[in-house]
């Protein structure tokens, strides 16, 4: 590709901004801050093996999960960058129990929810990890930011996306006008449009679930797994089992190739493991914008009314036909059990 054909993330954002009649550049400034944070986190992730930033921080996050040093570093980087944008009033982070009210920005109109480094258990073994963001507008009714402003349904997101630190570093996002992917060119340190208008196939041949928990799964989920494994030429089965244990990596592969990712309810985790505000909602906004589907098994993820910043929901997400079948099997078995 000649450099004259490159569309940078910066240029793409400017071009998209012109499509919104009431755009004043504030959302663009947030995106620029996220882009900068992604580049800085990428730099630290890429050198993780070389300096003492691997391993555990010796602290735990709001969920009692051991914090890796890079978790904390990434969290600080994203918070600092978002604060510097001057457009964000509240930040919700997986790494912080309480919302972060940005000083002097109480009247700013955006709220950002982040999982600064998802899949961190994979850091030490050099598997793909990522950062997730979800952006809301603060309800206009409240002049200054308050915690209630954060508990909005996922369908009210104005933007969502992720950065995947994999064999290459990519930023994938939506503002409701489809999904586009940008690959970081290390030579010029620019995210360049590499995956325009991403659309997930309605059918796929990949199923992603942690079968180590099989005995704990609802009957309908077990039935769906057996369906995926059964031989049937007409429906291209058996499917392939692919599970990295990093949501963004599993999601990204299925987004591009087609497939389904499931984190179901289990006896140990009746609401699943993944968090609504900064994992399930952003990924659900993206998958719907790419033509796929996302369900809790009971309802559309984006319709869930949050009642807690860190609440968990079960997640069935990916190719529409696969999600619909998995959810129908879950509910049919629930009816007969």
Q: Which is nearer to ligand P6P, 28 or 246 (CB)?
A: 246
Across the chain, which distance is largest between two alpha carbons, in Å? 62
Minimum CB distance to ligand P6P, residue 269 (Å) = 8
Place of tokens 């058996």: 238
Minimum CB distance to ligand P6P, residue 232 (Å) = 27
Interface residues with ligand P6P (CB under 6 A) are 118-119, 121, 210, 245-247, 273
Minimum CB distance to ligand P6P, residue 40 (Å) = 21
Minimum CB distance to ligand P6P, residue 238 (Å) = 21
Q: Which is nearer to ligand P6P, 88 or 286 (CB)?
A: 286
Q: Which is nearer to ligand P6P, 89 or 282 (CB)?
A: 282
- Kindly give the interhelix angle for 26-46 and 9-17, rounded to the nearest 10 degrees: 160
Q: Which is nearer to ligand P6P, 87 or 118 (CB)?
A: 118
Q: Which is nearer to ligand P6P, 116 or 119 (CB)?
A: 119
SS3 of the chain: the string is CCHHHCCEHHHHHHHHHCCCCCCCCHHHHHHHHHHHHHHHHHHHHHCCCCCCCCCEEEEECCCCCEEEHHHHHHHHHHHHHHHHHCCEEEEEECCCCCCEECCCCCCCCEEEEEEEEECHHHHHHCCCEEEEEEEEECCCCCCCCCHHHHCCCHHHCCEEEEEEECCCEEEEEECCCCEEEEEEECCCCEEEEEECCCCCCCCCCEEECCHHHHHHCCHHHHHHHHHHHCCEHHHCECCEECCCCCHHHHHHHHHHHCCEEEECCCCCCCCCCCEHHHHHHHHHHHHHHCCCEEECCCCEHHHCCCCCCCCECCEEEECHHHHHHHHHHHHHHHHHC
Q: Which is nearer to ligand P6P, 17 or 210 (CB)?
A: 210
Minimum CB distance to ligand P6P, residue 314 (Å) = 13
Sign of CA dihedral 76, 280, 173, 206: positive
Q: Which is nearer to ligand P6P, 30 or 265 (CB)?
A: 265
Minimum CB distance to ligand P6P, residue 115 (Å) = 8
Tokens representing residue 39 in the block: 């580049």
Minimum CB distance to ligand P6P, residue 25 (Å) = 33
Minimum CB distance to ligand P6P, residue 230 (Å) = 23
Minimum CB distance to ligand P6P, residue 21 (Å) = 37
Q: Which is nearer to ligand P6P, 118 or 288 (CB)?
A: 118
Q: Which is nearer to ligand P6P, 108 or 118 (CB)?
A: 118
């Amino acid at each position: 590709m000649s450099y004259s054909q490159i569309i940078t993330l910066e240029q793409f954002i400017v071009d998209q901004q012109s499509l919104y009649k009431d755009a004043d550049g504030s959302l663009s400034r947030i995106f620029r801050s996220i882009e900068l944070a992604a580049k800085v986190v990428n730099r630290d992730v890429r050198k993780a093996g070389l300096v003492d930033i691997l391993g555990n921080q010796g602290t735990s996050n709001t969920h009692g999960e051991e914090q890796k040093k890079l978790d904390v570093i990434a969290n600080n980087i994203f918070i600092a960058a978002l604060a510097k944008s001057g457009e964000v009033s509240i930040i919700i982070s997986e790494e912080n129990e309480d919302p972060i009210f940005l000083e002097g920005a109480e009247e700013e109109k955006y709220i950002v929810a982040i999982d600064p480094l998802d899949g961190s258990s994979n850091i030490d073994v050099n598997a793909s990890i990522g950062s997730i963001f979800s952006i809301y507008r603060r309800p206009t009714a409240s002049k200054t930011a308050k915690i209630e402003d954060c508990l909005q349904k996922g369908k009210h997101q104005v933007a969502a996306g992720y950065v995947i630190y994999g064999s290459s570093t990519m930023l994938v996002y939506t503002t409701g006008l489809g999904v586009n992917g940008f690959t970081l060119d290390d030579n010029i340190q620019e995210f360049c449009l590499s995956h325009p208008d991403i659309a997930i196939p309605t059918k796929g041949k990949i199923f992603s679930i942690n079968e180590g928990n099989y005995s704990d799964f609802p009957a309908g989920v077990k039935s769906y797994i057996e369906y995926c494994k059964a031989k049937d030429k007409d429906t291209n089965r058996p499917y392939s089992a692919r599970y990295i244990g990093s949501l963004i990596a599993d999601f990204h592969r299925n987004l591009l190739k087609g497939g389904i990712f499931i984190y179901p309810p289990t006896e140990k985790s009746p609401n699943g493991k993944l968090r609504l505000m900064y994992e399930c909602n952003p990924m659900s906004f993206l998958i719907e914008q790419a033509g796929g589907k996302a369900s809790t098994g009971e309802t559309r993820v984006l319709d869930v009314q949050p009642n807690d910043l860190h609440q968990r929901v079960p997640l069935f997400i990916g190719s529409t036909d696969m999600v619909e079948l998995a959810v129908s099997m879950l509910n049919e078995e629930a009816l007969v059990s």
